[in-house]
Amino acid sequence: MAADKSSVGNCTKDEDAPMTKPVAIVGTNPAALLAAYAAFLAGNDVVLLSKDDFSFQLDSSQFLRKPIESLTNEIPDGEIIYRTNGNVAEYKKKMYSDFTVERAPTKTSRSYVQNDLVIPAWNLEIIYPRLFSGAHPYITSIPNLDGKWLLENVNDFSDVIIAVPRPEICILPDDEYAPPHMFHQQNIVVSSEIQLAETNTIHYDGTDLHSWYKAGELFGNYFAEWSGINPPFHCFPDVKPVRTNCTCHPSALYVGRLGCWSWKATLDEIVPNVLNRLGAGDKS
């Protein structure tokens, strides 16, 4: 192959490098693109596996809390202010309406913020187009991509990093009497039609003053989230992963909330985790 420079985000890699098995990134969502960027930065060949070749719709409430070297500016794009109303217990009941008190997570993201807390933030919308356009040449469409396909083809890759919703790659037990793996989630709806006055602010509401449990404005994008009700706004459905006992593909690295199937997973940890996984932790 003729010498060429290819890129994922702002990272370049020489195409004349010796051919090796690529690192497989399962998915094309923001978590997958960050994982691909890190794998590429670590000097690996990369292939992104997806059922469809398409651009992922960003969640308007997503942002980075830390800069990523060579990808974001060191100076934050802004500051996010947290506002809290009510207490944590009431917020949890309002958010996890599908769960009993005993089965709901003991903590939520609200558990870790105080009223008027201010944190630096980096706008994901700024880097996402660069990440996707850089990764696009490496996307391979696999219409039948699922857990069994991955198991059958795992030896084609030097490593596997999974960012798609974990139930999509779960392999149910072959024994028909064995219980299937458990995926607990909270079904929610999200709308951009509620416009709060404060900019770059996230509101957590544990009262009966509002029907939503979380709402805000981030870098010009409005959002509000409801659980257990259908508000009189144009909404789209979404899920909040809670927990799973799935142990499929134990040698793979799971990233992002959907891949880990946990509300605790963040975008900020993906690049350093992948670099450490691939033996390039000092590059983070």
Q: What is the pLDDT of residues 43-99, one digit of tens each?
A: 999 999 998 766 556 666 789 999 998 899 999 999 999 999 998 889 998 999 988
Lowest mean pLDDT among 16-20, 31-35, 132-136, 158-162: 16-20
Q: State mean pLDDT over 221-237.
A: 90
Average pLDDT, the chain: 87
Following DSSP, what letter does each residue of the chain receive, concatenated? Answer: ----EEEETTEEEETTSPP-PPEEEE--SHHHHHHHHHHHHTT--EEEEESS--PPPPPTT--BSS--TTTS-SS-SEEEEEEEEE-HHHHHHHH-TTS-TTTS-S--GGGG--TT-EEEEB-HHHHHHHHHHHHGGGEEE-TT-SHHHHHHHGGGSSEEEE-S-GGGG----SSTTSPPPPEEEEEEEEES----SSSSEEEEEESSS-S-SEEEEETTEEEEEEESS--SS--EEEEEEEEE---SSTTSEE-HHHHHT-TT--GGGHHHHHHHHTT-GGG-
Predicted confidence band at 123 (pLDDT cuts at 50, 70, 90)? very high
Q: Spell out the domains of the chain, with CATH numbers in brackets.
A: 1-67+124-174+245-284 (3.40.50), 78-121+183-241 (no CATH)
- Assess whether pLDDT exceeds 80 at residue 16: no
